[in-house]
Amino acid sequence: MKSRREDGRGGGVGQGINAAVRELGVERTEMQRAAKIASLSPEALRVARETGTDNNQSALLAAAKHTEPERQVAAQLGPKPQRAPREPEPDALMTTSCGGARG
């Protein structure tokens, strides 16, 4: 397709993330995350497969924040953030009311 701009840069019809979003029917943010993950270096992707984080979007996006392959690999191998334990939910039987008039 021909560029819309006189200088020949960008603006091509049917190119980029917008075209992929339309064609695939996915959310723009989902496509942007996929593009970031696809930009990972081959070394970082290899380490992700070896460590089992290749199916962990958060870990892959954290590594994709770095541009240098060494730092992407280090992000894959670094310490994983710990989640705070969830508070147990109160027993449902203890929190229900036993009849009574509505006011």
pLDDT per position as a tens digit, 39-60: 999 999 999 999 999 999 999 9
Rg value, the chain, Cα = 24
State the pLDDT at residue 59.
Answer: 92
Q: What is the DSSP letter of 22?
A: H
State the pLDDT at residue 78.
Answer: 79
Question: If pLDDT is split at 50, 70 and 90, which confidence band does 77 have?
Answer: confident
In this structure, are residues 54 and 80 in contact, taking their beta carbons and an 8 Å threshold? no
Pull the structure tokens for residue 84.
């705070």
Nearest to 64 by CA among 81, 88, 48: 48
CA 11 vs CA 2, 15, 30, 54, 81: distances in Å: 9, 8, 22, 34, 41
State the pLDDT at residue 71.
Answer: 93
Nearest to 76 by CA among 38, 47, 46, 41: 47
